[in-house]
Amino acid sequence: MTYGSSLAPHVDRPSEAEPPVRAGVLYVGMDLGCYKTSVAATNGTREIVHSIVGWPKDPVSRKMLGKDIVFGNEAYRHRLALDTVRPFERGALKYVDDAATGIPKEKLGRYKLAARELVHYVASLCRPPRGTLVYGVIGSPARASILNKQALIDACKGTFESVMIVSEPFAVAYGMNQFEDTLVVDIGAGTTDLCRMHGAIPSDEDQITIPKAGDYIDDCAFKLIKERHPSAQFTINMVRDAKERLSFVNDVDDKAMVTWPNREGRPTSFDITAELKEACRKIVPDIVEGLRELVSSFDAEFQRRMLQNVILAGGGSQLRGLDRLIEEDLKQYGGGKVVKVHEPDYAGANGALKLAADMPEEYWKAVN
Amino acid sequence: MRFLPLPGEPTAGIQRIDVEGMIRQASTRVRVDHLVKTGKKYIHLLSRAIVDDLINRSVRTIVDKHRLATGPRTAGIEEESRTEFEELLLQYQQTTDATSAVEHSRRMIEQELPKESPPANDRTALAPSPGGVREIAILQKRMEKLLAHVATMEAALKTLSTAKTFSNQQVQNLLRELGLAQEDKNFEKKKEMLKIVLDTNQGIRQKARELAARGITLEAPEERAVFTDAAESLSDACSRSSV
């Protein structure tokens, strides 16, 4: 497959007469998340942006924003003035087919365009010098289909000179040099990916994708809060924000207090501790069940060792006490040790970058 | 505290405060008969010496007050400065030791070199024995190898220092060449994994092309579970290539 020119000429807009000069290589690792996208590059760039693309709703908003297309955090901030698309929401393009996402058919083209634009924007944050070859490794959910992976490759066309797709939990494990007897749990927004590392590249049997992750917690918390605090006025974004700031799943005396408007619009304090905790705990049984499945189907001799090395990554791993709660649940299978990665938001991108940097030059040419 | 020096008085090192000028600026010039007219019969006079003394006293009071207030902090700063100074001194000593060690090694090499490889005209003068000739030849060969190594290192360093953007692979190769790269115990494993990543990615593209040719896309997925299997992709690729 041939790609368009590398990203650099697009960014710097060289004149047509100027022949492209290929000097140097920039390796990029990208974790395209349903909610946020993180990127790391060999020139030291590390960015995290909202996976959102927006087009001004009308000439007024176009005039206000001064742009025809808005990305990331800026699009999130001005989302009311924009027609926004989260290209990877509900697993779109990433791990389910288009019908399963529930997205209307007429909008699918826009999702693909948004994905392409988002990848281009995120890569441009790495500021590759003109003429630099940009090679990228992109993380995809563990059990993404061929079509989903191809959709990601298509989204990268014109941005990267060459691109490779790897499973997200494998990228995390690679980044941490954990190749043996390790179980990686990558809790994102759309999916929780589990991966068994046993010294070889994980196959399908070594990986599980659970469609319950951050978004599922938000939905559950939203319903529970709506039910128990009917007088509160809030949106799913406000619930997500509260979850990111205040969530914990262990039994501590902390309180999750939020100040939201009540029916009359007056700011009121609401105690949402129980609701958040209940919602956050809902993903734990599936994770433990997934871990059990991966361990029990593995060589009996190594099962115990594997349970002693469970790594939690992704934004969802930041839920306070989640590691201890999983450890508690693993006691029924003889106990285990769960540790969180150092940088949950960047673990996938860092791993992908490490893979990209280690990849021999000829492989980049051979893959196309 | 001093007034402005008188003409001819030495000025170096004196803190100049124009008290006279300041008094002149701060005060108002009034005629004596005007004061008398306004009913003021007595006037308090203040000599320059007393003004000087008063200023000195107030300055001293303020300084003492601040010294008392900042006393413990100053002690802390002194302590910190001392620690920092000691650290710097230690670093300096270490650097000096390292420099002298390098210098010593250099001298040693210089002393050794003429022994091992005397200059050409000396060589003829020395007229070595047949055994010595062989030894010199070996040493010369060794020297050539060393010089070649140094040249490679220099070239590598030049590449590193002049390149604007490095390929990590290039940097790693150069570092390995220089013996500075940390050996990765998982090197072989990673190499195998990277090969499989490549094969899998080639498989994805090939299979996607085939599916597209059959009209199977994300919009119209005939077979929903077309999961990537590295082994399967590989075997498929192999069977296709053999055909």
Q: A270 is in which domain, residue-wise?
A: 214-281
Any idea which residue has 């150092």 for tokens?
Answer: A342
Residues with Cβ < 8 Å from B32, sequence gap 6 or more? B43
A14 domain-assigned: no
Please give the DSSP secondary-structure letter assigned to residue A316: G
Beta bridge partners of B25: none
Q: Which stretches within A208-314 are classed as H helix?
A: 214-228, 236-246, 273-281, 284-296, 300-307
Q: Judged by CB atoms within 8 Å, which residues 186-205 of B form the interface with A?
A: 186, 189-190, 192-198, 200-202, 204-205
Identify whether residues A68 and A188 lie together within a single domain. Answer: no
Q: Taking CB atoms and an 8 Å cutoff, what residues of chain B touch A42?
A: 168
A5 domain-assigned: no
Q: With bands split at pLDDT 50, 70 and 90, how would you rate the model's confidence at A135?
A: very high
pLDDT of amino acid A97? 58
Identify whether residues A161 and A233 lie together within a single domain. Answer: no
For testing contact with chain A, the best of B187, B228, B236 (most A CBs within 10 A): B228
H/E stretch holding A338 reads strand A338-340
Nearest to A100 by CA among B8, B219, B16, B89: B219
Beta carbons of B165 and A24 less than 8 Å apart: yes
A6 domain-assigned: no
HSE, CB side, 13 Å, CA atoms: give it for residue B98.
6
The Cβ of residue A97 has, within 10 Å, a number of other Cβ atoms equal to 24
Identify whether residues A254 and A311 lie together within a single domain. Answer: no
Q: Which stretches within chain A are classed as H helix?
A: 7-12, 59-65, 72-77, 98-101, 105-124, 146-155, 168-175, 214-228, 236-246, 273-281, 284-296, 300-307, 322-330, 347-358, 361-367
**Contact between A320 and A247 (Cβ < 8 Å):** yes
Distance CA B85, CA B88 (A): 5
Beta carbons of A201 and B216 less than 8 Å apart: no
Please give the DSSP secondary-structure letter assigned to residue B5: P
Beta carbons of B205 and A367 less than 8 Å apart: yes
Measured in angstroms, the CA of A205 and the nearest CA of chain B are apart by: 9
- The whole-model pTM stands at 0.62
pLDDT of amino acid A21? 45
Q: What three-state secondary structure class fits A275?
A: helix
Joined tokens for residue B87 = 């650290």
Nearest to A44 by CA among A353, A358, A361, A364: A353
What are the pLDDT digits (tens) for B134-162? 888 888 888 887 887 777 766 666 655 55
Identify whether residues A190 and A290 lie together within a single domain. Answer: yes
Q: With bands split at pLDDT 50, 70 and 90, how would you rate the model's confidence at B234?
A: very low
Q: What ipTM did this prediction achieve?
A: 0.79
| Percent of residues, chain B, with pLDDT higher than 70 | 48
Q: What does R_g of chain B's alpha carbons equal in angstroms?
A: 44
**Polymer length in residues for chain B:** 243
A296 domain-assigned: yes
Beta carbons of B228 and A204 less than 8 Å apart: yes
Identify whether residues A167 and A266 lie together within a single domain. Answer: no
| Percent of residues, chain A, with pLDDT higher than 90 | 23
What are the pLDDT digits (tens) for A310-332? 999 988 888 888 888 888 888 88
CATH of the domain at A246: 3.30.420.40
Identify whether residues A204 and A306 lie together within a single domain. Answer: yes
Identify whether residues A28 and A149 lie together within a single domain. Answer: yes
Beta carbons of B165 and A146 less than 8 Å apart: no
Measured in angstroms, the CA of B18 and the nearest CA of chain A are apart by: 58
Mean pLDDT in residue range A18-28: 66
Total domain count for chain A? 3
Identify whether residues A145 and A43 lie together within a single domain. Answer: yes
**Contact between A128 and A26 (Cβ < 8 Å):** yes
A10 domain-assigned: no
Q: B181 and chain A: CB distance < 8 Å anywhere? A: no
Please tell me which residue, A246 or B123, carries the higher pLDDT value. Answer: A246
Nearest to A143 by CA among A87, A213, A191, A200: A191
* CB nearest A363 (choices: B166, B194, B229): B194
Beta carbons of B190 and A358 less than 8 Å apart: yes
A3 domain-assigned: no
A16 domain-assigned: no
Identify whether residues A297 and A329 lie together within a single domain. Answer: yes
**How many Cβ pairs within 8 Å bridge chains A and B?**
115
The Cβ of residue B128 has, within 10 Å, a number of other Cβ atoms equal to 13
A100 domain-assigned: yes
Nearest to A34 by CA among A147, A144, A161, A162: A144
What are the pLDDT digits (tens) for B53-87? 888 888 888 888 777 666 666 667 777 777 777 77
Identify whether residues A67 and A167 lie together within a single domain. Answer: yes
